[in-house]
Amino acid sequence: MRNMASSASSRGIAAIVGVGPKLGRSIARKFAHEGYTVALLARDLGRLSRFADEIAREEKAQVFAIRIDCSDSRSIREAFEGVLSLGFVEVLVYNAYQPTSWHPTNFTDIKVEHFEKSQAVSSVGAFYCAQQVLPGMAERGRGTILFTGCSASLSGIAGYSDLCCGKFAMRALSQCLAKEFQPLGVHVAHVIIHGIVGTPRLARDTGLIKKIKGTPDNEKAEKARKKAPEERSSTKSQTDKPRPAEKGGYFTIETMTTVLKAQNEMVLRIERVVVAIATHSRVGTLA
């Protein structure tokens, strides 16, 4: 564990599990800005320490970097021993996932080991992490656990069985915990990010978005924005009534382009939603 400060904030600890360079780091920064002591947890401790240094310096906050492997119960237990030694966990954000190919994989070609790893990270890891903090939250009569979901949490997608099964299970877990612990004062929510956090270049390199000949990117994105206003709101709280599936349950090229071109705006909206849910504030409009 890399220590960035000596004592925890009076607001408690915000433990962010699954901190990468995009969404996880952005959420961690927002909680630090709100005055929480922040524990960053991920597998790459070197990169995590750089994020911790950066956030601590820019937000003048207390930030800790702790290594965790969410597919390993022992690693989770040891990581949270470090987290809980800092003080009480007020917020747990579970944002971990097992990287999967951008390209769909034929069901018969999916290796059992990869399928099991995906389930271990998405659902079993979420289960173990929640178990580490829920006793303390229930005892204090307050606390918040947020699970990060995606399109695959709501609708099966051909070629992504490993991802969908893990995300479905995490969604079920969040609903079970919400019903069990709400009477004890603990808030549990499943926040679906109905889009992709990345860059247009990454999407093109991996074949997710193909450049349309003769149409500038900004003109294409603007046309898509006007054509599909519903998809512009890429974040929503858990609901059992997803929007109608598009072209097999995934985004059209135009819609994905709009989401990717507006990724910074989307991450800012996600930050606001996550912190609002965690602090029981009014979220307001996302548009």
pLDDT for 11 equals: 84
Angle formed by the axes of helices 112-119 and 161-181, nearest 10°: 20
What is the pTM assigned to this prediction? 0.72
pLDDT for 60 equals: 93
Q: Answer for the pair 98, 124: CB distance below 8 angstroms, yes or no.
A: no
Q: What are phi and psi of 250, to 5 degrees?
A: -135, 180
In this prediction, residue 193 has a pLDDT band, given cuts at 50, 70 and 90, of confident
Which pair of tokens denotes residue 27? 């959420």
Beta bridge partners of 64: 3, 39
Which pair of tokens denotes residue 208? 């997710």
Q: Using alpha carbons, select from 7, 68, 75 the residue that is nearest to residue 43.
A: 68
In this prediction, residue 270 has a pLDDT band, given cuts at 50, 70 and 90, of low
Mean pLDDT of all residues in the chain? 77
Q: How far out from the chain centre does Cα 244 lie? A: 23
- Give SS3 for 4: coil
Which pair of tokens denotes residue 33? 């800005």
Instruction: Please name the amino acid found at residue 152.
Output: A
Rounded CA-CA distance 89/50 in Å is 23
**pLDDT average, residue stretch 39-59:** 95
pLDDT of residue 122 exceeding 90: yes
pLDDT of residue 206 exceeding 60: no
Q: Using alpha carbons, select from 236, 216, 232, 233 the residue that is nearest to residue 224.
A: 232
Q: Which residue has the higher pLDDT, 267 or 152?
A: 152
pLDDT of residue 224 exceeding 80: no
Residue 260 vs residues 27, 146, 214: alpha-carbon distances, Å: 18, 24, 20
